[in-house]
A and B are shown apart, each in its own frame.
Chain A
Amino acid sequence: MNRRSLVSIGALVLGVAVLLSASVVAQVPAPLAAKRAPAAKVPAPTGKPYTPPKTPDGQPDLQGFWTNSTYVPLERPQGVTKEIYTPAEAEAAIKAAAEREAEQTEPGTTADVHYDFSQFGLDRSQSKFAASLRTSLIVDPPDGKIPALNAQGQKRGAERAAARKAAGGPYDSVQNMPIGSRCIIMGGSGPPMMNAGYNANYQIVQSPGYVMILTEMIHDARIIPLDNRPQAAQGVRQWVGVSRGRWEGNTLVVETTNFNGKNAFRGASENLKVTERFTRIADDMIDYKFTVEDPATWDRSWTAEAPLAKTEGPIFEFACHETNYGISNILAGARAEEKAKAEQAKKGSN
């Protein structure tokens, strides 16, 4: 942990105390306030480094249920120039974000035809989230933004956009729809593990020589071998890449390459390399940092910090594809609309 994080955690203790106070809870939109769970606790800096418990085979123990749900955006918002909010500013930012989520479910609005996020516990304010005073998850570059795409990255972006355009409208075929809607993969699995809008839950289980990270969305289990085996041959390409891990002291370092390029993480190529660092810094907190490198996309690497807060299990089966009525309904709706338009046009021409 660097010094800056320590400073921010010191500030967080104050921030969390404020966030937990009744006055703040009362300011959260009414339907949310009643159900709101307390934000994850942040340990008081004792001056002593935290020593994580060990598994029976001697690994630092990361096991349990965790969430990376957060209101902190990946990139620093426009107009914000500081890296760390004051507790009052952080509180205002969370409140604004919670209100934006609640807006989706305002009765009578267009958005309300979607299911009620607050009713089904889907908005972030109802689950535990890792409290942070950071203005962005990105800590490097210092401006908190993803570096600009380089020439190669821009060219690839343009080619992908052209291919999408050539493939037709967003509802012309299932392949034109987002991979999350298709139940292929959701953002939470990563790597890097990005907070999903809801169900941002993970379970870590360790056995000798392995760490397994189960992402609730979509029952995605990443098994990371720790035996220093060489990376898989380049011919093996996966949506989630192929991960290799090792312990550096109390930090689990995981390097992932061999992506299939279909996920196009933030415009990256299939040669993306993600390095993740997991360090348990308290009984209920894992410091999670990831660094993204892809010289074919960005001229420099970038790094984000997205802590995992302890949460309660268990994690239930998320069978997404098996009941994906949404895809059929959306495509059938689009076809019905086209048919109606064609008939309308026919009538008009008669």
Chain B
Amino acid sequence: MRNRFLTRVTVAGIVTCLAAAVTLVTAQTPGYRAPRAPDGKPNLNGIWQAINTANYDIEAHSAAQSPVLEMGATGAVPAGLGVVEGGTLPYTPEALKKRNENRANRLKLDPEVKCYLPGVPRGTYMPFPFQIIQSQKHIMLVHEYAGAVRTIYMADQTEAPADSWMGWSNGRWEGETLVVDTKGFNDLSWFDRSGNFHSDALHVVERISARSADTLNYEATVEDPKVFTRPWKMSMPLYRRVEPNAQILEFRCVEFVEDLLYGHLRKQPSQ
């Protein structure tokens, strides 16, 4: 009896230890160590792209009909499990109302429709690649969409001199992780095509680290007290474009939207 009891205790102990060990291992799963850049920092250089449907809607969503009838299935919205931790964005009631208005009028209001700069973090998960060019003083993020560019200041850091679409980014290394702190946004960009939005009080902290040779862990903590009741986080993997000739190509979309934006101002043939 006693022996059996002891055995049970021992087994329980072993299980607990194992569980603890498993937990530890799980916590260390991101413990992949990236190859070093020539300056000894983790090497995040590369052409990266998200493979998800966050650009349609960062929250979980079902597949849906195209907002443009003529586009048929090619313009339909693919479903997505969402990238927001906890599932739902913590809007204030007024902000939620505005989000829903945005959503109802998204063809008119979505800045992407007008080829405007994508903002942060939206640029990261648009269906276009972006390239990380990593040097010591500056890390550049160059997006194919609209040629959007972010400069991450690793040295000579200052406050944002003025508000902008892509914000003003200061970066630092925390071990294996590049931490990018971005402020100085205007209130014009959206998070997705579903009207999720922010104000000029937006503050984004991104954490980027290698999770394998060809994937990154990307997470962004979003704080905006004018729109959300608390900070919230999104996360996703990013995938390396491994084609040997991969490169950022031109998506200079201004000329694709000129008739949409200015067509009504075209001279009409005289009657």
Query: Which chain A residues have a beta carbon within 8 Å of chain B's beta carbons?
Result: 55-58, 63, 168-169, 171-175, 182-185, 203, 205-210, 212, 214, 218-221, 223, 225, 229-230, 232, 236, 238-240, 313-317, 319, 321-322, 327-328, 331-332, 334-335, 338
Contact = CB atoms under 8 A, between A and B. Distances in A.
B39 interface: yes
Give 9 nearest A-B pairs by CB, closest first: A56-B38, A331-B265, A172-B267, A57-B38, A317-B164, A238-B250, A174-B262, A173-B266, A56-B39
Interface of A is mostly: loop
Nearest to B39: A56
Given A172-B267, A314-B156, A331-B265, 19 more contacts: A56-B37, A56-B136, A63-B135, A173-B266, A174-B266, A175-B258, A182-B258, A208-B37, A209-B45, A220-B147, A221-B147, A238-B249, A314-B153, A315-B151, A316-B161, A317-B149, A322-B165, A328-B262, A331-B262
A169 to B, nearest CB: 7
A205 B133 contact: yes
B265 A219 contact: no
Contact of B267 (A63, A168, A185, A229): A168
A55 B267 contact: no
B45 A207 contact: yes
Interface of B: 37-39, 45, 111, 115-117, 131-138, 140, 142, 147-149, 151, 153, 156, 158, 161-162, 164-166, 188, 244-245, 247-250, 252, 254-255, 258-259, 261-262, 265-267
27 contacts: A55-B38, A55-B135, A63-B137, A169-B267, A172-B267, A173-B266, A174-B259, A185-B252, A205-B140, A207-B45, A207-B135, A212-B142, A221-B140, A221-B149, A223-B248, A232-B247, A238-B252, A313-B156, A314-B156, A314-B158, A316-B164, A317-B117, A319-B116, A322-B111, A322-B116, A327-B262, A331-B265
Nearest to A225: B247
Contacts of B248: 223
B75 to A, nearest CB: 23
Contact of B250 (A56, A240, A335): A240
B162 A316 contact: yes
Given A315-B151, A319-B164, A322-B116, A208 B45 contact: yes
A314 B254 contact: no
Nearest to A233: B245
Nearest to B188: A322
Contacts of A232: 245, 247
A85 B215 CA distance: 57
Contacts of B134: 207
Given A182-B258, A219-B147, A223-B131, A334 B252 contact: no
Given A56-B136, A219-B149, A238-B250, A173 B38 contact: no
B73 to A, nearest CB: 26
A183 to B, nearest CB: 6
B255 A229 contact: no
Contacts of B266: 172-174, 331
Most B CB within 10 A of own CB, among A205, A225, A316? A205
Contacts of A58: 38
Contacts of A172: 266-267
A182 B259 CA distance: 12
B105 to A, nearest CB: 19
A239 B253 CA distance: 12
A131 B263 CA distance: 45
A327 B134 CA distance: 37
Contacts of A314: 151, 153, 156, 158
A184 B147 CA distance: 11
A332 B265 contact: yes
A207 B111 CA distance: 32
A205 B262 contact: no
A173 B252 contact: no
B261 to A, nearest CB: 8
A182 B255 contact: yes
B244 A206 contact: no
Contacts of A208: 37-38, 45
